[in-house]
Copies of this chain bind each other. A is one copy, B any other.
Amino acid sequence: MDIIKPRTLSGFMELLPAKQIRFEKMAEILRSTYASYGFAPLDTPAIEDAQILLAKGGGETEKQIYRFQKGDSDLALRFDLTVPLAKYVALHYNELAFPFRRFQISKVYRGERAQRGRFREFYQADIDIIGDGKLDILNEAEIPAIIYKVFRSFGLRRFQIRVNNRKILNGFYAMLGLTEKSGDIMRTVDKLDKIGAEKVKGILLEDCGLTEEQADEILTFIAIRGTNDQVLTALEGYAGRNERFDLGLKELKAVTENLAAFGVPEENFAVDLTIARGLDYYTGTVYETTLLDHPEIGSVCSGGRYDNLAGYYIEKELPGVGISIGLTRLFYVLDEQGLLNPALPSAPADALVLPMTENPGPAIALAEQLRSAGIRVQLYGEQKKFKQKMAYANKLEVPFAVLLGEDEIQEGVCSVKNMISGQQVKLAPAEAAAYIRAALEAEKGPLILET
């Protein structure tokens, strides 16, 4: 037979079992946390009508999208989970209860140039809350509370959710008479961390055509730092000059105040006036999340408030607020940096049951008994030498091997071998289950390490 050399396309993540098990744990934490806040799971098709996906159009999207014909149909793979959400909400508007809260953890597709750490197929883990006409500000405080819960559940403490409000920025630029240029200015200001205040000022003066005074005002504004209270107090100094600004400040205060009630500590949350988010459609609160010891990773969870989710599909005002975690990239970066806790068990089974007699019946029954006690058990039925069986257990990195020979069967016990310590004890099946469970319980730890 002719052999075709197997390969996986570049830009497509395909993990070995031990890593996939860690990835699944992250996904499971996201699912259960999102569900605990009353978000409904959603699963839209990966393929949509290309005209519908591209209703908004836009340069990069059109270039990167996977688009193809099948019969007469013009099809495309989704490039994010927001456009399919907009389509879903518009299509099922009459059947949904608003506010409509959904989470979706699904793959999206972007045919970007292949590059280390960039993926063409990747998971996004999104939550959104969609209102019908109106949506209370309380939702904008709940979102960072959920981000907090997610990252704490990953095992992290050293992260910061940075929050701003687009109304404050837009109102501020309106005060300076710079509404028209606000897009360019925000893109420039966004580079502050990277290029420094001086270079930002240079660009504002030369490329954006601002006056010296305007540039200084902006630099003073984005230099506002301190505790959340200090930043809010400084912002009070600008109040009363622009309605939009005042509304934004009121919203930011409401978000900040409610976060304490949600149990988010001050150290995990910062009002940061440099955050703007690139996308045009954010209109209120915006979020970015950074790992404090790994600023080089950039934002690991971003989002914000928007006023018009589905205007391309339905004549209804559908405001919303949401966030997105680029799960595949986050996992890749954490793994690269060695931050995935290596002490956490990553074997597909907790115990490998090894029948040492010709009749596998007793070993089968033992394996079933251990499973009933909640242990993941693999039965090893291959006719191999003992040494090879142990080598297999080691390669799987299974924490326990459970041996069942004639002696054990006679005595009504099994031999439980801890594969790390090498310690071996004879226990009755129910005791063996309790022993293994206790050991697994003790080995639980954070999914992600802080270094």
Contact = CB atoms under 8 A, between A and B. Distances in A.
Interface of A: 1-9, 12-17, 20-21, 23-24, 35-49, 51-52, 55, 66-71, 73, 75, 86-88, 90-92, 95-99, 101-102, 107, 109, 111, 120-121, 131, 134-139, 142, 257-258, 261-263, 310-315, 348-349, 352, 360-362, 364-365, 368, 371, 375-383, 392, 395-396
Contacts of A70: 66, 111
A376 B35 contact: yes
Contacts of A75: 9, 66
Give the number of copies in the complex: 2
A60 to B, nearest CB: 15
10 contacts: A6-B310, A8-B44, A9-B48, A35-B348, A38-B349, A38-B376, A66-B70, A136-B383, A142-B381, A261-B362
B312 A45 contact: no
B138 A379 contact: yes
Contacts of A88: 6, 8, 14
A333 to B, nearest CB: 18
A381 B111 contact: no
Contacts of A92: 16
A254 to B, nearest CB: 9
A35 B91 CA distance: 37
A16 to B, nearest CB: 6
A43 B71 contact: no
Given A3-B312, A15-B43, A16-B95, A8 B87 contact: yes
B136 A381 contact: yes
Given A90-B6, A392-B97, A1 B136 contact: no
